[in-house]
């Protein structure tokens, strides 16, 4: 499939009318270098069969209404765009949704996206996950540096979840009981300075891989509990020193877990 990714550094592109020359595109990305866009009306030149769309942050607040025609869209990445965001709820073929630097009251607006398999919330202040239970096919959830975020309990309603990625959520001080997540195989915790008790990971019946990255506040003995999970297969641990890392390796005696989350997800735009 044809795709186009442009990164003009001079800020000269102010609209997307050039897309009239690329009507058969199935993937389009307008990254942060499109910050001078006045609108995204030029998306009308693309086929309604568009499968993947990225819209980086812009100086103006742009309406997302032009997205409504892309009924077959599988992947959407939005940075900072909230005007007419309700349009996204109508894109019911969506498989992967990423919101960066976007603050929402909760996730209930997007309940119609019942085919969603991956949700990424990066930055912004969406601290309430109410409504996430509607995503009954959700396999992957990433929460990264969300302002004011503290409560992980809503994720326990996502019974299809296979991978959980949490990074730099300084107000999270406890993991929930994960026994309601029978498919959760992989947990990635990075710069989660408020966490010290990892015994809730033992409640995830299918857990095989654990990644603890940039967790220098921990001592090796804090992770001893992980050695008792019956399904443990791989682990990658970074505690900020070779001495502590070596001690954990000796304690767990497991091969490294792969870092690449995209390999885990596969291509959801197909």
For residue 7, pLDDT beyond 70: no
Q: What are phi and psi of 246, to 5 degrees?
A: -65, -40
pTM of the model: 0.93
- DSSP annotation of 142: E
- DSSP annotation of 7: -
Which CATH superfamily, name and number, covers 95-265? Ribonuclease Inhibitor (3.80.10.10)
**Contacts (Cβ under 8 Å, ≥6 apart) of 237:** 210, 211, 212, 213, 215, 223, 245, 248, 249, 252
Q: Give the model's pLDDT for residue 261.
A: 77
Q: Give the model's pLDDT for residue 10.
A: 65
| 100-120 residues labelled b (16+ CB within 10 A) or e (exposed) | bebbbeebeebeebebbbbbb
pLDDT, tens only, 43-72: 999 999 999 999 999 999 999 999 999 999
Q: Span 124-135, mean pLDDT?
A: 98
For residue 26, pLDDT beyond 90: yes
Short-list 142, 217, 144, 221, CA closest to 186: 142
Short-list 26, 37, 38, 27, CA closest to 5: 27
Say which residue, 259 or 135, is predicted with more confidence.
Answer: 135
**What rounded mean pLDDT belongs to the chain?**
94
Share of the chain above pLDDT 90, in %: 87
Q: Span 240-253, mean pLDDT?
A: 96
pLDDT, tens only, 141-173: 999 999 999 999 999 999 999 999 999 999 999
């Amino acid at each position: 499939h044809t795709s186009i990714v442009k990164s003009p550094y001079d800020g000269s592109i102010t609209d997307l009318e050039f897309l009239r020359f690329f009507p058969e595109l199935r993937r389009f990305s307008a990254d942060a270098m499109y910050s001078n866009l006045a609108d995204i009306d030029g998306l009308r030149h693309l086929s309604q069969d568009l499968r993947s769309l990225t819209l980086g942050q812009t100086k103006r607040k742009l309406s997302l209404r032009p997205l409504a025609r892309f009924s077959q869209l599988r992947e959407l990445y939005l940075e900072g765009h909230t005007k007419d965001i309700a349009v996204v709820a109508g894109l019911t073929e969506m498989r992967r949704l990423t919101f960066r630097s976007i603050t929402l009251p909760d996730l209930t607006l997007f309940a119609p996206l019942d085919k969603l398999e991956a949700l990424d919330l990066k930055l912004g202040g969406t601290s309430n996950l109410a409504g996430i239970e509607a995503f009954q096919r959700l396999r992957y959830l990433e929460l990264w540096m969300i302002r004011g975020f503290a409560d992980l309990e809503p994720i326990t309603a996502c019974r299809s979840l296979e991978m959980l990625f949490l990074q730099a959520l300084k107000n999270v001080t406890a993991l929930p009981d994960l026994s309601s997540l029978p498919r959760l195989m992989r947990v990635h915790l990075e710069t989660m300075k408020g966490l010290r008790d990892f015994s809730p990971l033992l409640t995830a019946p299918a857990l095989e891989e654990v990644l603890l990255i940039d967790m220098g506040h921990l001592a090796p003995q804090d992770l001893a509990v992980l050695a008792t999970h019956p399904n443990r297969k791989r682990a990658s641990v970074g505690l900020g020193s070779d001495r502590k890392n070596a001690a954990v390796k000796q304690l767990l005696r497991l091969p490294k877990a792969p870092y690449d989350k995209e390999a885990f997800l596969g291509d959801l735009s197909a």
